């Protein structure tokens, strides 16, 4: 008879990046269950203090910070990452690969038994359509951006670390959104207001997304079923709402939640790709830190289908989306009505604080 993992409510838990969008949602769900929660982030977050969460400030790339945060914990949710479509490879490697290696080393040192790692479907993205893709997809031979490349390297290290002392699992949520989003939604809304959004091509390419509460709940469900030798251990799982929509339908519905008109202007995919190449070159030559408005990676992301078979997550740890896209958009619209100033001032700069997974 397989062992029964100790309930999360009875364990000391670490959430890296607990001040970020997904990390914060995981923290709130853990606290609601009565878990003793600690976070590791580069910043300090008053909302976590109000929840009674122990906060440790430090950089994932520093082994001492990882050791200090992991000590005394039985389970780790490693959510923190440097997300983005542009930037120096070394900075992504330091946050996403070195940071993950430090967390793994600390888990081994301090006897952590379960590690849930937040990965990304972009680790298998080749620039072509992904339709009903499952976890049998291999990693591509080359990547178009540092983020998916370093997330793939980190995921491989996490899965290779699965062992009798430390059970590991990698979760791949796609396009997380909802109230409190500080990445995807603000960028869509800010660029919509500025008139900078263009449909890439005319294909109705289907794309998966996942509402924030569903993404967080999936992490807790996977942790509950994670133990050495379990079907979950040593595996990667796609996560989504299971409701793929044409990409620009989703974008336009997010814009509508803010009272903005839909995107109607279109540019050919080839033009978007060429513009991305030119803009990347210019940003390198001019040493610009801001993200280019277009990159080759983004052009392919916006012009191809990427939706996933989530039957493995349903089967192995009972994941079932509880908040539909329709309900999520209703909640998003309500939240936006109460926080217009925060959304209108959303930054367009790349994220430097690796406390949020994109």
Q: DSSP 3-state assignment of 45?
A: coil
Q: Label residue 340 by pLDDT band (50, 70, 90).
A: low
Name, in order, each residue with C-beta under 8 angstroms of 175's C-beta and a sequence gap of 6 or more: 184, 207, 208, 209, 210, 250
Rounded to whole angstroms, how far apart are CA atoms 338 and 235? 40
Question: Domains in the chain, ordered, with CATH?
Answer: 10-182+209-242+306-322 (3.40.50.720)
Residue 292 has pLDDT above 90, yes or no: no
**Overall average pLDDT of the 224-244 stretch:** 96
Spell 78-95 as b/e; 16+ CB within 10 A means b. Answer: bbbbbbbbbbeeebbbbb
**3-state secondary structure at position 40:** strand
H-helix or E-strand containing 337?
A: helix 325-338
In which band, very low, low, confident or very high, does the pLDDT at 286 lie, cut at 50, 70 and 90? confident
Percent of the chain with pLDDT over 90: 78
pLDDT at 348 > cutoff 60: no
User: Which DSSP helix (H) or strand (E) runs through 56?
Assistant: strand 54-57
Closest CA to 149 of 94, 103, 93, 81: 93
The residues carrying an active-site annotation are: 147
Give the whole-angstrom CA distance, residue 118 versus residue 215: 10
Place of tokens 């990698």: 170
Task: Mention every residue, 6+ apart, whose C-beta is less than 8 A from residue 29.
Answer: 213, 216, 217, 220
Predicted TM-score (pTM) of this structure: 0.91
pLDDT computed for residue 302 by the predictor: 87
pLDDT of amino acid 30: 97
Q: How confident is the model at residue 344 (pLDDT cuts 50, 70, 90)?
A: very low
């Amino acid at each position: 008879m397989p062992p029964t993992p100790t309930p999360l409510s009875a364990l000391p838990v670490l959430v890296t990046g607990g001040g970020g969008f997904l990390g914060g949602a995981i923290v709130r769900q853990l606290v609601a269950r009565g878990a003793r929660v600690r976070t590791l982030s580069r910043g300090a977050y008053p909302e976590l203090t109000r929840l009674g969460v122990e906060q440790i400030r430090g950089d994932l790339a520093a082994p001492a910070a990882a050791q200090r945060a992991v000590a005394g914990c039985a389970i780790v949710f490693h959510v923190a990452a440097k997300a983005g479509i542009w930037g120096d490879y070394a900075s992504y490697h330091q946050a996403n690969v070195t940071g993950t290696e430090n967390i793994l080393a600390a888990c081994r040192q301090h006897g952590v038994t379960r590690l849930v790692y937040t990965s990304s479907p972009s680790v298998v993205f080749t620039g072509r359509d992904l339709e009903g893709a499952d976890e049998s997809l291999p990693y591509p031979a080359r990547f178009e951006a540092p983020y998916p490349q370093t997330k793939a390297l980190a995921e491989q290290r996490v899965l290779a670390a699965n062992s009798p002392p430390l059970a590991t699992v990698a979760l791949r949520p796609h396009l997380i959104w909802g109230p409190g989003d500080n990445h995807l939604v603000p960028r869509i809304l800010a660029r919509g207001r500025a008139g900078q959004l263009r449909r890439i091509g005319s294909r109705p390419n289907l794309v998966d997304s996942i509402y924030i509460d569903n993404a967080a709940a999936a992490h807790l469900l996977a942790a509950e079923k994670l133990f050495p030798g379990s079907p979950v251990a040593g595996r990667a799982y796609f996560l989504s709402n299971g409701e793929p929509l044409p990409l620009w339908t989703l974008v336009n519905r997010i814009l509508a939640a803010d009272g903005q008109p839909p995107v109607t202007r279109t540019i050919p995919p080839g033009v978007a790709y060429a513009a991305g190449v030119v803009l990347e070159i210019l940003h390198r030559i001019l040493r610009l830190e801001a993200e280019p408005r277009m990159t080759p990676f983004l052009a392919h992301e916006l012009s191809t289908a990427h939706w996933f078979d989530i039957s493995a997550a349903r089967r192995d740890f009972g994941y079932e989306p509880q908040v539909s896209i329709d309900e999520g958009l209703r909640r998003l619209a309500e939240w936006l009505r109460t926080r217009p100033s925060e959304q209108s001032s959303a930054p367009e700069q790349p994220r430097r604080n690796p406390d949020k997974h994109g």
